[in-house]
Amino acid sequence: MFGIEVDGNNNHDMNRYYSPLRLFKRHVSINRPSPIPLPRDDQREFEDLQRKANQPTLHPDVPTPVAPEFEGDVNPTTGEKGGPKREPITRSTVDPGGDWSFKGRVSDF
């Protein structure tokens, strides 16, 4: 009537519902082969090395932050409170009579 054939035992074409692929299940075996466990210290070192290897690395051209010249809020040279932690523009130590630099960029006035 609706496309389902009924035989004498009231079985509705059960073969299409119970095909071998449909009944297939993956069983995870606990007793599968695995590497020999490492001692605790070696395992910890191995995990640390893996964690370091999987961390994203920065591009080599990323600028490094400039370290402050002094600690605290007061500049010991000038006595200025709340000012910059580094002298913004400095002369090159290689050529004291010429170039000025700021964050590693050199300019000649």
Q: What is the pLDDT of residues 8-52, one digit of tens each?
A: 555 555 555 555 555 555 555 677 787 888 899 999 999 999 998
Classify residue 63: in a domain, yes or no: no
Give pTM, 2 decimals. Answer: 0.31
Residue 96 falls inside a structural domain? yes
Q: Helix (H, G, I), strand (E, B), or coil: what is residue 49?
A: helix
Look at residue 106 and tell me whether its pLDDT is greater than 60. Answer: yes
Instruction: Count Cβ neighbours within 10 Å for each residue of 24-48 and write b for 16 or more, e otherwise.
Output: eeeeeeeeeeeeeeeeeeeeeeeee
Q: What are phi and psi of 21, to 5 degrees?
A: -70, -35
Is 89 contained in some domain? Answer: yes
**Structural domain containing residue 101:** 68-109
- Does some domain include residue 38? no
Q: What is the mean pLDDT of residues 71-92?
A: 79
Instruction: Average the pLDDT over 69-83 and give the result.
Output: 87
The answer as to whether 40 is a domain residue is no
| Model confidence band, residue 86 (pLDDT cutoffs 50, 70, 90) | confident
Selection from 69, 105, 63, 64 nearest residue 87 by Cα: 69
The count of domains in the chain is 1
Tokens found for residue 81: 């409170």
Total residue length of the chain: 109
What's the confidence (pLDDT) of residue 78?
Answer: 84
For residue 85, being part of any structural domain is answered with yes
Has residue 26 been placed in a domain?
no
* Host H or E run for residue 42: helix 40-54
Domain-located, residue 99: yes
Nearest to 85 by CA among 98, 93, 76, 94: 76
